Amino acid sequence: MTVSQIQQPASCSEFEPKGVYLSIILFIEEHLPYFRINKCQMDKKAAEKSYNSQLSVYLQAKNSNSALLFQNAPHQSNAREPDIGVIRTRVLNNGDYDSIFDIECKRLNSTLSHVKEYVSGKTGGIERFKKNEHGVNMSCSAMIGYVEDKTDTYWLNQINAWIDELHVNNPAFWKETERLSQHDGHFKSTHEKPSNSQHITLFHFFYAV
């Protein structure tokens, strides 16, 4: 599998991953369930950053594809830095180090005042992809929810309820078709980027902390 096999940006909700996108998604799906957080290395005041740092190290340790690197909070030349970026190890002629696949991670804990930021808000995960601040020129990326309480089913329903609420309050920006659904064993959602009329499909993974 080479980085040249990446798909062009999708224009509809029928996106199915191929090439490098498919290999990254299947890689996360295979290895994420076996990730274990080292509590001794946790910064309790910055739990999410601690999770991300450890997860990026773990994914890279499991990565056997020498063409790609899992990097924590990589600098992006044309966007906000994602929590984890998948970077080409072979630098392009223009010196492009930007990631080819962005992973945004959020804590899912019913006691957090900012838990809705999985979807929207100051650091809203899905919203940043919609605003083209993450996943720039990508047709596919991923989100990881660190489930600290409740169940995957609870959070799936809750996330969709938040999207429904946003659609009611701002139908020009949020569509009811952006709800998460399950296809071929994956949770995914497709979102319009109003600024450039592109679409991005997000694959959602829930990890029990």
Q: Which residues of 15-139 form beta strands (DSSP E)?
A: 68-72, 84-88, 99-108
Distance, in Å, from the CA atom of 81 to the CA atom of 66, rounded to the nearest integer, reads 22
66 close to 90: Cβ distance less than 8 angstroms: no
pLDDT in tens, 91-149: 655 556 778 999 999 999 999 999 999 999 989 999 999 999 999 989 999 999 999 99
Which amino acid does the sequence have at 124?
G
Q: Which amino acid is at 103?
A: I
- For the entire predicted model, the pTM comes to 0.89
Grouping H, G, I as helix, E, B as strand and the rest as coil, residue 146 is: strand
